[in-house]
Amino acid sequence: MFSKKLFLSLLLIALIISMGCANAVDSSNWKTVKINDVDFKIPPKYQGGDINNDHTNYHYKDLNTFGILCIDDYIASSYGCWHNLKGKNLTIGSHDVAYFYQYNNFAKHDVSHAYFSSGDSIYCISWGSGEMTDEIEEIIINTPDSS
């Protein structure tokens, strides 16, 4: 009886560990983009976007599809516009993240926003989805801590 319980317990632990590994994101083939002195690893589906001349934002197609912005100069208008929406405060890696999403009438789909600090700046990642994804979490995890 004891060995059967032990076996089932070990099997359950192995299943839980394998589920975690199956959900892991492999970022080894991601390209790096430097935005305001912070390196961001970009997954293949968002590669090939544009960086502005000041290197303060990157976008793929448009900001409703995928974008990373350094919002140091306009944090009040960028982050402040979400004050009426319900959001979530998350911890992703070592970063505190304010996460919000809303249906975007212009884009005609949900757009998510994750605000966090890295290096000496505040960043916003936006993407066309109504949920936090493993890829976005991996992007955030791979950025340096705040100074």
pLDDT tens across 76-123, in order? Answer: 666 666 666 778 999 999 999 999 998 888 889 999 999 999 999 999
Q: How many domains does the chain have?
A: 1
pTM: 0.78
pLDDT for 73: 81
Q: Is residue 79 part of a domain?
A: yes
Residue 113 lies in a domain: yes
Q: Which residues contact 41 (CB under 8 A, 6 or more apart)?
A: 27, 30, 31, 32, 138, 139, 142
Q: Is the residue at 7 inside a domain?
A: no
> For residue 97, what are the domain limits?
26-141
Domain assignment of residue 3, yes or no: no
- pLDDT, tens digit, for every residue of 21-69? 445 789 899 999 999 999 999 999 999 999 998 889 999 999 899 999 9
Domain-embedded: residue 11: no
Q: What is the CATH number of the domain that holds 107?
A: 2.60.120
Between 4 and 93, whose confidence is greater? 93
